[in-house]
Amino acid sequence: MARGALWLGQVLAGPAIWAVTFAAVYALHGTGCAQGWDAMATPVGSVHRLAMALAWGAGLLACGGLLLRFSGTETRWQALPRMGAWIGLGATLFSLFPLIVLPAC
């Protein structure tokens, strides 16, 4: 039973990373706007944008790590965790890219 549960966890890992990253960035966005983080500067942009970018980057790295971890594609059993990792990477990249092109608040 543990093997099946582990496999399901592997399939869900990529989308779960997206979900956590998306929720974290949205929470940081709301918190930062409420607390005025946008006005606090760092050498690479505001604290607000930096915090969101770090969370985004961590999510992308985690999904990339999953892709390296799940390399097999021979059987459906092997391929689905890899597909899950691609879903996580694509969704994290696309749904959160506005944080580098739009004003925050």
Q: Which part of the chain contacts another protein (CB under 8 A), choosing from 10-18, 39-47, 64-72?
A: 10-18
Q: Is 30 or 57 the residue whose CB approaches another protein more closely?
A: 30
Three-state secondary structure readout of the chain: CHHHHHHHHHHHHHHHHHHHHHHHHHHHHHHHHHHCHHHCEECCEEHHHHHHHHHHHHHHHHHHHHHHHCCCCCCHHHHHHHHHHHHHHHHHHHHHHHHHCCCCC
CA–CA gap between residue 86 and residue 73 (Å, rounded): 13
The smaller minimum CB distance to another protein, of residues 65 and 97, is found at 97
Letters for 57-96 (x = contact with another protein by CB under 8 A, - = none) are ------------------xxx-xx--xx--x--xx--xxx
Under rule CB under 8 A, residue 39 binds another protein: no
Q: What residue ranges bind another protein (CB under 8 A)?
A: 1, 3-5, 7-8, 11-12, 15-16, 18-19, 22, 25-27, 29-31, 33-35, 75-77, 79-80, 83-84, 87, 90-91, 94-99, 102-105
